[in-house]
Amino acid sequence: MADDVRKKLVGVLKDLERRASDVVGSAVVTSEGMLMASDLPSDVADPRLVAAMAVAALGIGKRTVAELDQGMLQRVLITGSEGQTVVMSIGDAHLLTVLARSDANLGLVFWEMSKAVEEIKKLLY
Amino acid sequence: MSEDLERLHRFITRVFALLMSRLDAIAGRETVRTVFRLIGESVGERVEARLKEKYNVNSWTLERIVELLATDVIAPVIGTNNVSFEGSGGEMKVMFTVCPFEKLGFDIASKFYCTYTHGVIEEAARKALGNVEVEAENLRSEGADKCIFRIRKT
pLDDT tens-digit profile of B121-150? 999 999 999 999 999 999 999 999 999 999
Longest dimension (CA), chain B: 50
Number of structural domains (chain A) is 1
Distance of residue B61 Cα from the nearest chain A Cα, in angstroms: 22
For residue B90, pLDDT over 90 is answered with no
Nearest CB partner across the interface for B27, out of A32, A48, A60: A60
CA B92 to the chain's CA centroid? 16
Domain definitions of chain B by residue range: 3-153
Find chain A residues with C-beta within 8 A of B29's C-beta: 59
Q: Check B37 against A34: CB less than 8 A apart.
A: yes
Rg (CA), chain A: 14
Span B18-28, average pLDDT:
90
Q: Give the residue ranges of chain A where pLDDT is below 50.
A: none
**Candidate from A45-49, B37-41, B56-60, B81-85 with smallest mean pLDDT:** A45-49
What is the CATH number that goes with domain B3-153? 3.30.1380.20
Residue of chain A whose Cα is closest to the Cα of B22: A63
Find chain A residues with C-beta within 8 A of B37's C-beta: 32-34, 52
Q: Is A45 exposed, middle or buried (0-12, 13-18, 19+ CB in 10 A)?
A: exposed
Domain range holding A25?
A: 3-124
Query: What pTM does this model have?
Result: 0.83
For residue B57, pLDDT over 80 is answered with yes
Q: Is A103 exposed, middle or buried (0-12, 13-18, 19+ CB in 10 A)?
A: exposed
Return the CATH number at A82: 3.30.450.30
Find chain A residues with C-beta within 8 A of B26's C-beta: 60, 63
Q: What is the pLDDT of residue B104?
A: 83
Q: What is the pLDDT of residue A124?
A: 93
CA distance A55 to B6: 36
Q: Check A62 against B37: CB less than 8 A apart.
A: no
For residue B59, pLDDT over 70 is answered with yes
Report ipTM for this prediction: 0.74
For residue B106, pLDDT over 90 is answered with no
Q: What is the pLDDT of residue A45?
A: 81
Q: Check B38 against A52: CB less than 8 A apart.
A: yes
Give bridge partners of residue B92 from the DSSP assignment.
Answer: B87, B151
Q: What is the pLDDT of residue A1?
A: 67
Average pLDDT, chain B: 93
